[in-house]
Structure 1
Amino acid sequence: MSRNSDHWIPLADLMTGLMMMFMLIAVLYMLKVNSAVSEYSVSKDALGKDLCSEFASDLEKWDAECDSDNLVIRFKSPDVLFDTGQAVIKPQFKVILNDFFPRYIALLNREEYNDSIEEIRIEGHTSSSWREGTSENESYFLNMQLSQARTLSVLKYVLSDKSTPSQEWTKDLLTANGLSSSKLIHDADGKENRKGSQRVEFRVRTNADEYIKNIIDDLGQNE
């Protein structure tokens, strides 16, 4: 009995040591994740504040809003953007884009932000409605086609502006995304706000999201 006990003591010590090692690895990974999240949050907050500050005096006259949390500039007035059912940019929206887009790109391409930008998304959104008698599915498909055509029109227009800085950098990151009625705006009573749903958004996606995901995936694989 004494001889068996002598064998079990080192094994228990070994198991304790392994547990401590695994706990240390887990703590180090969590510290890495927390550090990445903290760094991302600071960078994202700074970019959001700079975006909203840059256009603060223009948003009301443009009928636009800035969402600093999601890094979105949202143009809300369908009467200014496009004619109903059309993808040709209206003159007033062209004037807005001429002012907005060069400043927008100049801000995003600042040294403190440009390496963190994964994608600059032009998003087109519609209401769920179409002509009377059109089925729900057909309305969705037709609105998808329309929203895609509209965002492509915006993309072509802003890239044709030679005053826009960093053309090659911008082309590498700028995308046109028609989303149809997949992200509707609703009133407080839950009903669809058809006018509010018809909008164009400029959204920034950073590579920090992917970086944090990779760290978390690595942590999961090592559990």
Structure 2
Amino acid sequence: MPELILASTSPYRRELLQRLRLPFEVVGPQVDETPLEGETPAAAAARLARAKAEAVAAGRPGALVVGSDQTATLDGVAILGKPGGHERARAQLRAASGREMVFHTALAVVRRSDGFAHEQVVETRVRFRELSDAAIEAYLLAERPYDCAGSAKAEGLGIALLAALDGPDPTALIGLPLIALTDALCRAGLPPLRGLE
């Protein structure tokens, strides 16, 4: 069976990849995630997903390496990085109240030994409810989503903050688009289910 490596230290991406029931290894990529001047959020996510996959693939040319990155925009303006703490998370959710956030989740799958490469950006539109300060505070204290873009974990209690979701793959919002990844794995000769080839 070909080697499969997840180029990420994200526990969310690890949990998602486990759903496909393929054996894989996790290797943390060493990549500078500083945004480039003038780079769109979608382009930044795509560049970083590719850089993560390539960084790990450089040392493991025969492995199929999966990289992913996610950025979010609110009314077209980038939300840079994860909040990292309570105050920034509160500010992100106050800003998002009653508005639409767009998540750009990029996937890159590479294998150097045969030149295999698949790249894709999956977009998910999320409309937030009108959020009171009390609701924001209660949510942040309950879930502490300080390592999540947009400060809301849709796979957890954060779903209560949302009014609507629109996108082709619900797992993209969590951080790894499994529908796109399954397509790439099938093309690379590593389908999660026999007969999907």
TM bracket (short chain): 0.3 to 0.5
> Which one has the bigger strand percentage?
2
So what's the TM-score if we normalise by structure 1?
0.31
> Which one has the bigger helix percentage?
1
So what's the TM-score if we normalise by structure 2?
0.33
Q: With a CA cutoff of 8 Å and minimum separation of 6, indicate the structure with the bigger relative contact order.
A: 1
